[in-house]
Amino acid sequence: MIRFSPTRLMVLGVILMLYASVTTFWMALRWMPSTYLLNFLAAVSSIIGLTIGLYGLFQQTRPRER
């Protein structure tokens, strides 16, 4: 299994959430067509980005085991 550092997880979460917000913003300005697939991908990437980012944050702040 691939192990990612907590910092990489947080960065990946931020990138996914930025993708979702930029995509939604472009669709609102009608620079990008608003389709069901793009709306679904924006919503899913936002939720997954938040989940991955919080998991990375929790991994970084947990107490170290001895």
Give pLDDT tens digits for 18-52. 999 999 999 999 999 999 999 999 999 999 999 99
Please give the Cα distance from 15 to 63 (Å, whole number). Answer: 27
Per the structure, how many domains does the chain have?
1
Please give the residue range of the domain that contains residue 39.
6-61
Tell whether 66 is covered by a domain: no
User: For residue 31, what is the DSSP state?
Assistant: S
User: For residue 63, what is the DSSP state?
Assistant: P
Confidence category of residue 1, pLDDT binned at 50, 70, 90? low
Helix runs in 1-66, H state only? 6-28, 36-61
Tell whether 1 is covered by a domain: no
